[in-house]
Structure 1
Amino acid sequence: MTFLTRRSFLAGTASLSGLAVSGCVSGTAPLEPVPLSKDPAYLSMYAAMPAEDFPLPAIDLKKVPERFYRQQVDYRTQEKVGTLVVDTSRFHLYLVQEGGKAMRYGVGLGRAGFEWSGRARIARKAAWPKWTPPDEMIAREPELEKWSWRNGGMPPGLQNPLGARALYIFQGKKDTLYRLHGTAEYWTIGTAVSSGCVRLMNQDIIDLYGRVPVGSPIVVLS
């Protein structure tokens, strides 16, 4: 008959205990969620656009908060389908869709004192537009006179403040002088640094331009 010493018994118990514990431990670490800035769908959405008249570089999504990426969201509103709603408190623009949905875009807005709000309509659209600063802006920044309407405006291009597309906001037949437009300075989305217009990433304004016909209503919330 074989007798177990106290030492061999404890050693065997410890060995069995180790096996039991190790059997309860997963061999793989939990997966970390992939940030949207690395999501293939968003990388494709904001990829370079070499076929444009002025080829657009890709957006560096790490410089844009995820809440400002283009996406379809639930959106309850009394506004009719096809209406554009700019929520200035959240720096979002919504294109109202059917079924309680909306396409949501991140936007940049005007500095304090230059905001505009109200109801209007999209009276005109332009791809790679010229930019002509209004006389009120030139009065504040005289160096912009070289781009005035008297001098033909600034030609289109990557440095043009209106970016790849512009949608012109009118009230009745009156031009409000405010625009929905693109910007190459995508890192400013979600901030108030422009002189009043609503700016989107160039890839987003191109998407919006294709969805919004002339005559569409727009509401800019104060």
Structure 2
Amino acid sequence: MRLKALTVVAGLAVATALSGCTSVGLGSFQIFTADYGSRTDAGYRIPPIPITKVPRQYHRQIVSYRTDEAPGTIIVDTGAKFLYFVLPEGRAVRYGIGVGREGFEWSGTARVGAKREWPVWTPPPEMIRRQPQLAKWRNGQPPGPTNALGARALYLFNKGDTGYRLHGTPEWWSIGKAMSSGCVRLLNQDIIDLYNRAQVGAKVIVK
């Protein structure tokens, strides 16, 4: 009986390793700490994240999450610095995020109006006035690993483009902090995962 139990445990451990998860623990069904290595995407090299320097709660994971919102809904908890992608059966994919700094916070409901891979970033005029060094990108910063929108962007609409994005960032150290001009930042490896899950038209709740 003990040998059988050990065999089951060993089998689960192998399955966990093969799925890219590093642990299955209380409150977390899967945690994808092993999924932050370098990769090549559309000809661009995404550098590895020194993930041990990112607090563990901000690593992508599948967690228990109770909500009346339908699967496919995106819920942004700006206080906790988490983004949830709602799954069926009381679960969600949880990502660590960076959010708007003081004076740039916002909340409300929107929808994913568009999705872009390796988007061009064009800073708005008011941002250039605050940060004149960005004037060189007034006609758009070309896509690439150093682009401010990272590897992917989801454009939020509410009776038109809100100007806010869910997007990747090369600044991994900003995850878990309030540093942006209002957009929601994810690690590039995480925004690719979210991009592949989220549909155009998906409801987005920011609170």
> What range describes the TM-score normalised by the shorter chain of this pair?
0.7 to 0.9
> CA shift at 1:108, angstroms?
0.3
Partner of 2:172 in structure 1? 186
Give 1:213's aligned amino acid.
Q
Give 1:167's match in structure 2, choosing from 136, 139, 154: 154
Query: Would you say 1:82 and 2:72 are equivalent positions?
Result: yes
Give 1:158's match in structure 2, choosing from 145, 152, 165: 145
> CA shift at 1:175, angstroms?
1.0
> CA shift at 1:43, angstroms?
5.0
State the secondary structure of the residue aligned to 1:162: coil
Partner of 2:206 in structure 1? 220
> Which structure's residues are more often strand, by fraction?
2
Partner of 2:120 in structure 1? 130
State the secondary structure of the residue aligned to 1:176: strand
Structure 1 consecutive aligned stretches of length 4 or more whose deviation exceeds 4 Å = none
Instruction: Tell me how far apart the structure 2 counterparts of residues 96 and 51 of structure 1 sit (CA, whole Å).
Output: 26
TM-score, length-scaled by structure 1: 0.77
Contact 2:73 2:86 in 1 (8 A): yes
State the secondary structure of the residue aligned to 1:55: strand
State the secondary structure of the residue aligned to 2:46: coil
Instruction: Tell me how far apart the structure 2 counterparts of residues 100 and 113 of structure 1 sit (CA, whole Å).
Output: 34
Structure 1, unaligned stretches of length 5 or more?
Answer: 1-37
The aligned runs of 1:1-222 (5 Å cut-off) are: 39=22, 42=32, 44-148=34-138, 151=139, 153-172=140-159, 174-221=160-207
Instruction: Tell me how far apart the structure 1 counterparts of residues 40 and 71 of structure 2 sit (CA, whole Å).
Output: 32
Structure number with greater Rg is: 1
State the secondary structure of the residue aligned to 1:210: helix
Q: Give CA deviations for 1:183-208 in whole Å, capped at 9, x if unaligned.
A: 11112100011111100000000000
State the secondary structure of the residue aligned to 2:44: coil
TM-score, length-scaled by structure 2: 0.82
Instruction: Tell me how far apart the structure 2 counterparts of residues 139 and 53 of structure 1 sit (CA, whole Å).
Output: 33
CA 1:140/1:124 → structure 2, altered by over 3 Å: closer, same or farther?
A: same
